Chains A and B, each alone.
Chain A
Amino acid sequence: MNSTIEVIRRVELPKHTKNMKRLFFRYPLPMLTGSLSALLLYTLFFTIVVRYLTSFPLNVGDTVHAAAILSLLFTCFLIIFSRGKLGDHNVVGLFFNSHVKAHQLIIASYFPLYVFFQVLFFLTYSPVLVAFYLQGNAVVLYLLLLFICLTIVFLFSLSTWMVSTRICYKLINKYHDNFYLHAILFLTLLWLTFFALRELSSMSGSSFLLGAGLVLITALSLVSMLKLSTGFLMQLFKSSQNSIASKETKSYTLPQKRPMIHAALDALYYYRFGLLRELVFTFLVLIIVTFAFHLMFDATTFVYLYSFILNIGVKEIMIIAPLYIGMHYREHHLAFYNLNDRALTFLLPRLGMALGINVAIHLTFVLINYIALNQNFAFGLNAVASILFVTLVSVWVGFNFVINERNKAAALIGTLIFVGLLEFVLGNYLSTESHLTIFYALMSVVFLMVIKLFYVRKPIIK
């Protein structure tokens, strides 16, 4: 335990505080504006939700059920998108040059993500808790329950990820990163357990079996974490070495014109870094979830859930591609220096590509649901403006924050929350769709100008 705390204190915390300090010193104005805007948005969100929830009696059972699903969705996303976290050479160095045991290193490395998850969930659910309090319920108990349940959910998700990693290795007996098999196995194990617990609770009619099930799950998670951690970590180290093994690829002929060269570079970056693979996978999961909800719930509930998936799930995928533009620029700034191009030659093809991908994602999703599930096909100017806005905000996040494999998941969720809050608040204050469209378009232009002025700067570009 001491080593875990030491790693958190000496490695994880300084890393994050250093990043935040650097950001505030380097970009004081955008950071201050961003922080104040986020605070304002959250306050507005909080007020609107509390006002709404206190207008009718809250059903505790439904709230807990919704919270459980949401927390599982969050952790799935966080764990899958943080899978590269421990393959870093710094982690390898720390493990082989210190007394830190594998499980201590894993717990310490995932601790910031766990804190992020708790804070995020607390902020999302605090209006509900306040509404409970105003309706005369004992909030302290809910708070405690929420904290314990979230800890169990996170612990269980992490240990399930480790179990699925080991199963994948046993099944294919390779240190090769098999993303699809691994992620599908992880999601299946996690959600099967969730549904089993839900059935257990509804069959028995009392919460005793559910409580016993949770205790069992916690114990299993702890044991599997202790037993599997060394094998899991060594497997990660070996697969990161395995990926270095030479594998010949087809060299493409790059186009002649500058913007086309950048578009081609961006396409190769998406393709060879496995970004497209992540996009396709997340999209397919979303489609399966939509179809599953269609089968499981009645028409009214499904319409509500469909709107939730369209506004939150699809947006989450839309954040991925644009986020990489800033990451790409930051990681390769010396290479871009040598290309001797202008800011817009760098930016516009990439923005076009990210926007194209996002429009395609939105269109394909609504089209599939229109054909298969007879949902409304809504795609107008407002949708395009909203996609443009999400794209530009994500591009800005990618430029402003140092995002890597270790914090990518947190950046994705953080951006989603920011965009979600903004859209929620705007939806409450702007009365017509045309006003929203104009606002999105204007804000997109503002973000583009901020990116060009503050981030894509001379002398990296000319």
Chain B
Amino acid sequence: MLLLNIEEKNHGQNFQLKDINVEINPGEITLLLGHNGAGKTTIIKSMFGLMDYAGSLSINGQAVDMNQSNHIDYLKQHVAYISDGIGLFEYLTPREYFSLIEKTFPAKVNLNLLEKFIEIFELEQYLDLPIDQLSHGNKKKTQIVSQLFRESDYVVFDEPTNGLDPDMVIVLKKTLSLLKERGKGIMLSTHHLNFGEDLYDHLIILRNGDKKLNDSKTNIYHRLGPMNVEQIYQSVNQDYYQHVEEVINELYN
């Protein structure tokens, strides 16, 4: 299990995250929802040590200290990070980049999986083009495939659907279901309500850094009844939507 506990994280003068617990279990998908600026990326960057915070991180029971090389190594070996920005060497071709990842994690890659992902994400025709010449969507697909063929225990995805066409969003959903079946723990951070609808096992909803909901699918069902993600989201953000409704009504009148 991957467990992140953010006791306190201040970002700028007006933003604060407090008492946020993120849990990613093997074979489960945790869905992190929130508006722009809610704190999703801050949580993910804190998890990977890219931002300082007060709190702790543990992976499979081992505490991770970001000041120790072997701990950083442990984190990177066990958790794949697919950032919102395109974190690739864009002067390489996708073929070269996949080979680079293969050589970086020699004992932890599945080349059969790579071959299949290249096929279903339709990257064959772009394998020998420098990445900077690819469209944003194809860059994103290269980034996704480069991390998914690694045999990591966990995958953390920041805004997975950004730049993907409808075909690829469907392919990605199916791929994530497969990876979940194979026992990977996955976290999806998104502001698209429908993407994680059929996938999630655990839901976290944030608003302006505040945790509005952090519970399992079963518990949410017991508490709120049969609701889809959009309804759950609206229900936990009632105050905000009430205000929006009032403003809209004013405009009508």
Residues of A within 8 A of B48 (CB): 337, 459
Is A442 part of the binding interface, using a Cβ–Cβ cutoff of 8 Å? no
- Docked complex Cα distance between A243 and B50 (Å): 33
- Docked complex Cα distance between A254 and B76 (Å): 21
State how many residues of chain A have any CB contact under 8 Å with chain B.
32
B106 to chain A: closest residue by CB:
A256
Docked-complex contact A269 and B81, CB < 8 angstroms:
no
The SS class assigned to the A binding surface is loop
Residues of B within 8 A of A462 (CB): 69-70, 72-73, 76
Contact mask for chain A residues 243-255; partner B; CB cutoff 8 A; 1 contact, 0 none: 1111111111110
| Given A268-B91, A334-B85, A334-B87; A339-B100 close (CB under 8 Å) | yes
Set B81, B89, B99, B129: member contacting A249, Cβ < 8 A: B129
Docked-complex contact B49 and A268, CB < 8 angstroms:
no
- Docked complex Cα distance between A340 and B100 (Å): 12
Docked-complex contact A254 and B87, CB < 8 angstroms:
no
Docked-complex contact B91 and A254, CB < 8 angstroms:
no
Residues of B within 8 A of A269 (CB): 89, 91
Contact mask for chain A residues 304-339; partner B; CB cutoff 8 A; 1 contact, 0 none: 000000000000000000000000000011110111
Is A272 part of the binding interface, using a Cβ–Cβ cutoff of 8 Å? yes
Counting chain B CB atoms within 10 Å of each CB, the highest count among A247, A252, A265, A459 belongs to: A459
Residues of B within 8 A of A273 (CB): 91
Is A83 part of the binding interface, using a Cβ–Cβ cutoff of 8 Å? no
B73 to chain A, nearest CB (A): 5
| Given A337-B48, A338-B147; A272-B73 close (CB under 8 Å) | no
Is A9 part of the binding interface, using a Cβ–Cβ cutoff of 8 Å? no
Is A402 part of the binding interface, using a Cβ–Cβ cutoff of 8 Å? no
B197 to chain A, nearest CB (A): 28
B91 to chain A: closest residue by CB:
A272
A273 to chain B, nearest CB (A): 6
Residues of B within 8 A of A261 (CB): 100, 103-104
- Docked complex Cα distance between A338 and B81 (Å): 8
Docked-complex contact A342 and B133, CB < 8 angstroms:
no
B134 to chain A, nearest CB (A): 8
B150 to chain A: closest residue by CB:
A338
Contact mask for chain A residues 172-208; partner B; CB cutoff 8 A; 1 contact, 0 none: 0000000000000000000000000000000000000
- Docked complex Cα distance between A459 and B126 (Å): 31
Question: Which range contains the number of B residues in contact with the other chain?
Answer: 35 or more
Is B13 part of the binding interface, using a Cβ–Cβ cutoff of 8 Å? no
Contact mask for chain B residues 74-104; partner A; CB cutoff 8 A; 1 contact, 0 none: 0111000101010111011101100111011
- Docked complex Cα distance between A341 and B76 (Å): 10
- Docked complex Cα distance between A334 and B41 (Å): 14
Docked-complex contact A245 and B128, CB < 8 angstroms:
no
A176 to chain B, nearest CB (A): 14
Residues of B within 8 A of A458 (CB): 49, 66-67, 69, 72
Residues of B within 8 A of A253 (CB): 99
- Docked complex Cα distance between A342 and B70 (Å): 10
Residues of A within 8 A of B49 (CB): 458-459
Docked-complex contact A247 and B91, CB < 8 angstroms:
no
- Docked complex Cα distance between A341 and B73 (Å): 8
Residues of A within 8 A of B72 (CB): 340, 458-459, 462
Residues of B within 8 A of A339 (CB): 100, 104
B162 to chain A, nearest CB (A): 14
Contact mask for chain B residues 129-156; partner A; CB cutoff 8 A; 1 contact, 0 none: 1101110000000000011000000000
Is B236 part of the binding interface, using a Cβ–Cβ cutoff of 8 Å? no
Docked-complex contact A249 and B128, CB < 8 angstroms:
yes
- Docked complex Cα distance between A273 and B132 (Å): 10
- Docked complex Cα distance between A265 and B88 (Å): 12
Residues of B within 8 A of A244 (CB): 132-133
Residues of A within 8 A of B59 (CB): none
B132 to chain A: closest residue by CB:
A244
- Docked complex Cα distance between A296 and B76 (Å): 62
Is B220 part of the binding interface, using a Cβ–Cβ cutoff of 8 Å? no
Docked-complex contact B73 and A254, CB < 8 angstroms:
no
Residues of A within 8 A of B89 (CB): 265, 269, 332, 335
Set B66, B93, B96, B104: member contacting A338, Cβ < 8 A: B104
- Docked complex Cα distance between A458 and B74 (Å): 13
Is B169 part of the binding interface, using a Cβ–Cβ cutoff of 8 Å? no
Docked-complex contact A254 and B96, CB < 8 angstroms:
yes
A458 to chain B, nearest CB (A): 6
Docked-complex contact B103 and A256, CB < 8 angstroms:
yes
Is B127 part of the binding interface, using a Cβ–Cβ cutoff of 8 Å? yes
- Docked complex Cα distance between A341 and B77 (Å): 11
A462 to chain B: closest residue by CB:
B72
A26 to chain B, nearest CB (A): 13
Residues of A within 8 A of B92 (CB): 265, 268
Docked-complex contact B128 and A254, CB < 8 angstroms:
no
Docked-complex contact B77 and A340, CB < 8 angstroms:
yes
| Given A337-B48, A340-B76, A462-B72; A249-B83 close (CB under 8 Å) | no
B51 to chain A, nearest CB (A): 10
Docked-complex contact A335 and B87, CB < 8 angstroms:
yes
Docked-complex contact A250 and B100, CB < 8 angstroms:
no
B89 to chain A, nearest CB (A): 5
- Docked complex Cα distance between A341 and B75 (Å): 13
- Docked complex Cα distance between A252 and B66 (Å): 34
B73 to chain A: closest residue by CB:
A462
Contact mask for chain B residues 175-202; partner A; CB cutoff 8 A; 1 contact, 0 none: 0000000000000000000000000000
- Docked complex Cα distance between A244 and B130 (Å): 10
Docked-complex contact A249 and B93, CB < 8 angstroms:
yes
- Docked complex Cα distance between A251 and B98 (Å): 11
- Docked complex Cα distance between A330 and B61 (Å): 33
Residues of A within 8 A of B83 (CB): 334
Residues of A within 8 A of B105 (CB): 340
Q: What residues make up the interface of A, taking CB atoms closer than 8 Å to B?
A: 243-254, 256, 261, 265, 268-269, 272-273, 332-335, 337-342, 458-459, 462
Nearest 3 interchain pairs by C-beta: A334-B87, A459-B49, A462-B72
Additional A-B contact list (4), CB under 8 Å, known A251-B96, A340-B104, A458-B72: A247-B130, A254-B103, A272-B130, A459-B66
Q: What residues make up the interface of B, taking CB atoms closer than 8 Å to A?
A: 48-50, 66-67, 69-70, 72-73, 75-77, 81, 83, 85, 87-89, 91-93, 95-96, 99-101, 103-105, 126-130, 132-134, 146-147
> Would you mind naming 11 contact pairs between A and B with Cβ atoms under 8 Å apart?
A245-B133, A251-B96, A254-B96, A254-B100, A265-B100, A272-B130, A335-B89, A337-B48, A340-B76, A341-B104, A459-B50
